[in-house]
Structure 1
Amino acid sequence: MMFDKKFPLVTFIDTQESLNQLVEQLKQSNMIALDTEFVRTRTYYAQLGLIQVYNGDVLALIDPVSGINLTEFWGLLKNENILKVLHSASEDLEVFAHYGDVMPTPYFDSQIGAGFAKMGHGLGYANLVHQLLGIELDKGESRTDWIKRPLSDKQLTYAANDVFYLYHLFPMLKQKLEEFGRWDWALEESANMCQGRLDAIDYDNAYLKVKNGFQLSQIQLAYLKPIAKWRLKTAVKKDIAVGFIIKDHALIALAKSKATTFAQLSSVKELNEHEKRKFSKHLLSNLQNADLENLPQKIDVIAFRPDYKQSFKTVKSKLVSIAENNEVPIEIFASKKYIHDFLSWYWSDNKGNNPKLLVGWRGMLALSTLSSLEL
């Protein structure tokens, strides 16, 4: 095919007045293509550098670094009358949650859509543009420091491309999905990506995400719990990735040591000297306040069950067959996590919410097969 759409004038939005005007224009849209550019190195949260949006008439690059108030724009993302189209948007959703406390609704992810449209799993944006529009994109600016100003014309063009072509390929992708009867599947799976992202941070259960916590006894977990909570709170407050405060293996060593004095803490070799100097008081305070009267439950790792590997293999084999018969990428249909969650649910005598494999479009394909299994 020959793509002949003229590239529109790009508007750089860095004043409150221009942003307010843009939002009013976008409110009249049925669909907008959306993207963000950000930087993430040592920070807990991604640093938002640019927001790109295109509704077929107006292509705007919004500059959050300028300090403009984005409240009205975030409100636009909740407008039920406007479909928000993004590509591979997991990290964009993190940005929306942190900066706007919002999820785009309704929302369509073109990478998910491409998978359902039998174009391939995990398809990159440039590949999708090439397949549908025949355009070769220059991705040379993908490592740009989007916080630094001014941005070059080449960088701005790169950013604008991400929504210009997305807007124009969307109708073609939607048509493919409708022909396959999978448009609703793509919307459902896109919505699944948004689930839980606006939940409050669960500081109390931070210890459950510390690697190898399952190795610890209940008493050791009681010591791990307060220091994991302190680390996460510190990371959020200082906007530093948790691993750049204290590594997981050091937290595990501290919990095993049950250190409650400076001498005991100093003997924990997994803590480096910088960490000991900077954090000893905080760590000791939390370790000394470990609640030994109400011990956490030992972390149950079902993967250690003697029948886990064979059961996992059995379930996966059934699901691979279903995925192949329906030409759905197994990576979308049944990730390792989804199979693991199904087995956890199955062995808990079906307690709690039904696992993902039994609901929605997945349930339509897999429910009868999985319901008949005996593991």
Structure 2
Amino acid sequence: MLYISNQKQLIDFAERASKSSVLAIDTEFMREKSYYPKLCLMQLATDSEIAIVDPFTCGELSVLKPLLSNEDIMKLFHAGSQDIEILLREVGCSPWPLFDTQIAAALLGQSHQVGFGSLVHTMCGVRLKKRDSYTDWAKRPLTDSQIRYAADDVAYLPRLYESMRALLEEKGRLHWLDADFQELADPEKYKVDPYARYIRLKRVNQLSGTQLAAAREVAAWREITARKRNIPRKWVMGDEEIVEACKREATNINELFMVRGVKQHVSTRDARDVVACINKAMKIPEDELPQLYASQHNEPNVDAALDLMQALVRLRAKENEIAMQTLASHSDLSLVARGHTEHSEVMKGWRRELVGDELIALLDGKMSMRLCNGELVVDKSSELEVD
């Protein structure tokens, strides 16, 4: 195992790694006090070598860009979205091609979002130590225990990849993952639209009309401000404070400071910006106001349909040894039940072939389900004809 602490060591490693068939990647970072994650350590493993990269001393990480974009090398991750977000920012590119063992595990009978330690124990028979999982990775020097823990996060990825790839090929499922991996590597996935953040505010569903427009403006202002100052969003203004301010339609600072906690947490300068956002929203025409997707009162109740659909998905997931959540989430099924099939993942690719078309047939009354000796049985009343 090599500890890389300067630019020359990093360049030399990158040259050696360019001849490897795989590159396992993991990162350790902190983001409790910043908007952007602070990279504290990068772990890399090739066919024959493990390297621990210290980003505080090794210089420009952009020297890894040719390695990450080398299409002859398979990049390996476990739950890699946060790692890829960091690589985009620190190295300047998204790795490709890639293989994520957490995503693949769901097609091999493992639970949805299985942990790395559980997967290594199941497939490699090794129990990883968890002692250093929540240590301060920004503190130097790192202990031997921290370095060993970090190395373990990539040491087993090549072995997992070979085993999982063979099993997926045996089941004819290797290319089922193509779309998932392409989405994971797509830089667009990691771009945050400030004007879409309001949807994720806690209790935002309590707002409607102009209040929702105000929340959109204030949440966007908060996002932009947090980025500029590189501090957590909640340090600018909390979710609850935004929602309550918009619910009150606080169009002046006195009204804004009536919201509990705002006067203590928000400066007068920022308060002026918040009030300006709310006043801007007050002038938005009614036909341009945002709306949250939600079940409307005039929509038919779909609870019974969802119960049936979940039973069918559970059956197909069990038959095919796939995690149910991976096959179809509750939100996906809700979209299908309400006729919004174009937005549902279960109506795309292998998921549609496995259960999506059957779900449409079930809703259309072309198939039914019953219990026989305690087992769920699907009866198809006609040939499936799904557009």
TM-score, structure 1 normalization: 0.87
CA distance in 2 between counterparts of 1:208 and 1:200 reads 16
Q: 2:328 aligns with which of 331, 334, 337?
A: 334
1:300 aligned to 2:293?
yes
- 1:83 Cα deviation (Å)? 0.7
Contact (CA 8 Å) 1:94, 1:197: kept in 2 or not? no
CA distance in 2 between counterparts of 1:308 and 1:196 reads 36
- 1:257 Cα deviation (Å)? 1.8
Q: 1:85 aligns with which of 50, 72, 76?
A: 76
Contact (CA 8 Å) 1:303, 1:309: kept in 2 or not? no
Contact (CA 8 Å) 1:141, 1:155: kept in 2 or not? yes
- Identity level (%): 29
- 1:195 Cα deviation (Å)? 4.6
CA distance in 2 between counterparts of 1:114 and 1:255 reads 43
Contact (CA 8 Å) 1:52, 1:160: kept in 2 or not? yes
Contact (CA 8 Å) 1:224, 1:252: kept in 2 or not? yes
- 1:235 Cα deviation (Å)? 1.6
Aligned with 1:48: secondary structure? strand
Change in 2 beyond 3 A, CA 1:254/1:193: same
Contact (CA 8 Å) 2:62, 2:92: kept in 1 or not? no
- 1:108 Cα deviation (Å)? 0.9
CA distance in 1 between counterparts of 2:186 and 2:314 reads 25
Partner residue, 1:218: 209
Change in 2 beyond 3 A, CA 1:300/1:170: closer
CA distance in 1 between counterparts of 2:328 and 2:58 reads 42
Q: 1:320 aligns with which of 310, 314, 329?
A: 314
CA distance in 1 between counterparts of 2:88 and 2:231 reads 17
Deviations 1:233-266 (A, max 9, x none): 1122222222232222211111122222222222
CA distance in 1 between counterparts of 2:69 and 2:122 reads 31
CA distance in 2 between counterparts of 1:196 and 1:374 reads 37
Deviations 1:58-114 (A, max 9, x none): 211111122611113134222222111111223223322333343321111112222
- Count residues with an aligned counterpart: 361
RMSD between aligned residues: 2.5
Contact (CA 8 Å) 2:209, 2:291: kept in 1 or not? yes
Partner residue, 2:378: none
Partner residue, 1:363: 352
- 1:276 Cα deviation (Å)? 5.4
Contact (CA 8 Å) 1:253, 1:270: kept in 2 or not? no
TM-score, structure 2 normalization: 0.84
Contact (CA 8 Å) 2:210, 2:281: kept in 1 or not? no
- 1:119 Cα deviation (Å)? 4.1
- 1:278 Cα deviation (Å)? 6.4
CA distance in 2 between counterparts of 1:324 and 1:303 reads 33
CA distance in 2 between counterparts of 1:83 and 1:31 reads 5
Contact (CA 8 Å) 1:214, 1:298: kept in 2 or not? no
CA distance in 2 between counterparts of 1:244 and 1:321 reads 46
Change in 2 beyond 3 A, CA 1:130/1:358: same
CA distance in 2 between counterparts of 1:303 and 1:326 reads 35
Aligned with 1:38: secondary structure? strand
Partner residue, 1:21: 12
CA distance in 1 between counterparts of 2:255 and 2:280 reads 16
Instruction: Name the amino acid aligned to 1:128.
Output: L
CA distance in 2 between counterparts of 1:22 and 1:153 reads 21
- 1:291 Cα deviation (Å)? 5.5
Q: Which moved more, 1:192-201 or 1:358-367?
A: 192-201
Once the two structures are superposed, the pairs formed by residues 156-195 of structure 1 within 5 Å of their partners are 156-195=147-186
Instruction: Name the amino acid aligned to 2:349.
Output: G
CA distance in 2 between counterparts of 1:196 and 1:301 reads 29
- 1:202 Cα deviation (Å)? 0.9
- 1:334 Cα deviation (Å)? 1.1
Could you list the runs of 5+ residues in structure 2 that have no partner in the other structure? 365-387
Q: Which moved more, 1:136-145 or 1:285-294?
A: 285-294
1:105 aligned to 2:128?
no
Instruction: Name the amino acid aligned to 1:139.
Output: K
Deviations 1:263-291 (A, max 9, x none): 22222235352325563222223223336
Q: 1:310 aligns with which of 304, 313, 317?
A: 304
- 1:163 Cα deviation (Å)? 1.3
CA distance in 2 between counterparts of 1:328 and 1:362 reads 11
CA distance in 2 between counterparts of 1:148 and 1:309 reads 51
Contact (CA 8 Å) 1:49, 1:63: kept in 2 or not? yes
Change in 2 beyond 3 A, CA 1:77/1:343: farther
Instruction: Name the amino acid aligned to 1:332.
Output: T
1:64 aligned to 2:38?
no
Change in 2 beyond 3 A, CA 1:101/1:370: farther
Could you list the runs of 5+ residues in structure 1 that have no partner in the other structure? 1-9
Partner residue, 1:144: 135
Contact (CA 8 Å) 1:302, 1:308: kept in 2 or not? no
Q: Which moved more, 1:76-85 or 1:124-133?
A: 124-133
